[in-house]
Amino acid sequence: MKLLIVEDESKTGDYLRQGLMEAGFAVDLARTGLDGHHLAMTGSHELIVLDVMLPDIDGWHIVKALRDAGNRVPVLFLTARDCVEDRVKGLELGADDYLIKPFAFSELLARVRTLLRRGSAPVLADRLQVADLALDLLRRRATRSGKRINLTQKEFALLELLVRRQGEVLPRSLIASLVWDMNFDSDTNVIDVAIRRLRAKIDDDFEPKLIYTVRGMGYTLEAPGVG
Ligand code: CA
């Protein structure tokens, strides 16, 4: 099963190629948009991992060219954080899913496998739900029981992480690196404060409670009766 990676940052490209090869895939790596466009249009790939920001032809042109040509190969695109317009545009142009950089390789691999299982049917990965908590990923909005909850960008990112990894205990160090891009030896009190604020918004006025502290280990989000 052959995948195509289009990524101009050489370290990221090498890292993705190696990881996917170790996971058992054959991999073509294009380091420019032009190469990526050419390989995407002429090769036979089961899936394309497509960086959006490329110096010559950007990722959007490649997705559009594929779809205009009737090619429905699944496309997972990689986008910078906080670019809502990018995500909306990508999905509208016919990409199937996206990941926000930086991401964990395990997350990318999980998305790749999901897309390959689903084949070429389009998937709108724009919503996450746990109990009555819903996250609109494109508009970065959260609701509980249909009631809008105002969150800062960081709070939303933190909540998204907890929901995506629900049932897993997330150490403060992991939360710090994924949501704040900082190392554990930074001021981790930031995490506790942020969790407290998030809980006040998400859990104080609602049942069931979803966010839990696991003493000495970290935090987890869990719906009762699940997991
Ligand atoms: Ca790039």
Convert the pLDDT of each residue in 134-189 to its tens digit.
999 888 899 999 999 999 988 999 999 899 888 889 988 888 877 876 665 555 68
- Decide which of 89, 118, 147 is a domain's last residue: 118
- Decide which of 75, 100, 118 is a domain's last residue: 118
Residues 183 and 206 reside in one and the same domain = yes
**CATH number for the domain harbouring residue 217:** 1.10.10.10
| Ligand 1: centre distance to CA 6 (Å) | 9
| Ligand 1: centre distance to CA 166 (Å) | 30
Number of domains in the chain: 2
Residues 78 and 132 reside in one and the same domain = no
Residues 6 and 113 reside in one and the same domain = yes
Residues 97 and 190 reside in one and the same domain = no
| Ligand 1: centre distance to CA 149 (Å) | 33
Residue 219: band (very low, low, confident or very high) from pLDDT cuts 50, 70, 90:
very high
Q: Tens digits of per-residue pLDDT, 39-63?
A: 999 988 999 999 998 989 999 999 9
C-alpha R_g of the chain: 19
Residues 62 and 87 reside in one and the same domain = yes
Residues 6+ apart with CB under 8 A from 15: 105
Where in the sequence is the domain holding 133, given as residue range(s)? 127-221
Largest pairwise CA distance in the chain: 55
Asked whether residue 227 is domain-assigned, the answer is no
**CA distances for 205 relative to 177, 210, 216, angstroms:** 29, 12, 26
- Confidence (pLDDT) at 227: 44
Q: Where are the alpha helices (DSSP H) in 1-58?
A: 10-22, 33-42
Asked whether residue 60 is domain-assigned, the answer is yes
Asked whether residue 78 is domain-assigned, the answer is yes
| Ligand 1: centre distance to CA 60 (Å) | 12
- Confidence (pLDDT) at 188: 63
- Confidence (pLDDT) at 141: 92
8 A C-beta contact, residue 155 and residue 175:
no
Residues 8 and 81 reside in one and the same domain = yes
| Ligand 1: centre distance to CA 211 (Å) | 35
| Ligand 1: centre distance to CA 225 (Å) | 42
| Ligand 1: centre distance to CA 12 (Å) | 9
Asked whether residue 108 is domain-assigned, the answer is yes
Residue 194: band (very low, low, confident or very high) from pLDDT cuts 50, 70, 90:
very high
Residues 135 and 100 reside in one and the same domain = no
Which of 56, 132, 125 shows the shortest CA–CA distance to 91? 125
Q: Tens digits of per-residue pLDDT, 92-138?
A: 787 888 888 888 898 899 899 988 887 654 445 578 889 999 999 88
| Ligand 1: centre distance to CA 37 (Å) | 14
